[in-house]
Amino acid sequence: MNAEPVATRTSGPKKSRPHRFPLVVGAMSVGVASLLVVWSGFHPHGNFEASLLGLGALAVAALAWLWLLIQCIRRARFHPGLVALPLTLLLALGATRLGVVRNLGWELARPSLEHAVAEGTCPGWAGPLPVSRCVSLGDGGTAFHIRNDGFLVSGGWAHIADPKVAAELLTRSHLQNEGYRFKEIGDSWYLFEVVW
């Protein structure tokens, strides 16, 4: 029995990679922050609680990204996470800032609000968003307040069927409208905010 020598695999210098745990924490916190930014964007004027939670997740993500940056500088190596983490968050912020998410929130809420207008009821939900109360604006107009819509500004969507009433509400200041400020979005629907 002649035993042939077994070729041993020699490896070069061990490649140093950043630890996975901070990268996973960074990716998860960026994901959570992005989801909270998008959820806040569904609301007509932002969601205060989601914004606060998003800031906390963003702080964790920033620390994880900073750790990854330091590791990459120390090892003189690039890691795709340096670009992927901020890019994910920028895409979520951009979609929210450009109104893409708010328009999607309106399209999801609109069928239930139109049904409520036709039935003369106050829905508990407008698509994915909870309705806190409905206020009659007189002459067939209804304001649907979205729960947790903002900190010092709350709001929602209003349906005002009479164009004369709508024109009057649009031209008056919020002080003359009991704090309401309206912006037309089409088909007798208006985005409103109540300013304190």
Q: What is the pLDDT of residue 169?
A: 80
In terms of domains, do 87 and 106 share one? no
Q: What is the pLDDT of residue 20?
A: 74
Number of Cβ atoms within 10 Å of the Cβ of 19: 10
Q: What is the pLDDT of residue 117?
A: 93
pTM of the entire predicted model? 0.71
Q: Which domain holds residue 44?
A: 20-98
* 174 domain-assigned: yes
Q: What is the pLDDT of residue 2?
A: 63
* 110 domain-assigned: yes
Q: What is the pLDDT of residue 173?
A: 66
pLDDT tens figures, 159-178: 998 888 888 888 776 656 67
Distance CA 172, CA 189 (A): 17
* 52 domain-assigned: yes
Q: What is the pLDDT of residue 58?
A: 83
In terms of domains, do 81 and 108 share one? no
* 8 domain-assigned: no
Q: What is the pLDDT of residue 14?
A: 56
Number of Cβ atoms within 10 Å of the Cβ of 40: 24
- Low-confidence stretches of the chain (pLDDT beneath 50): none
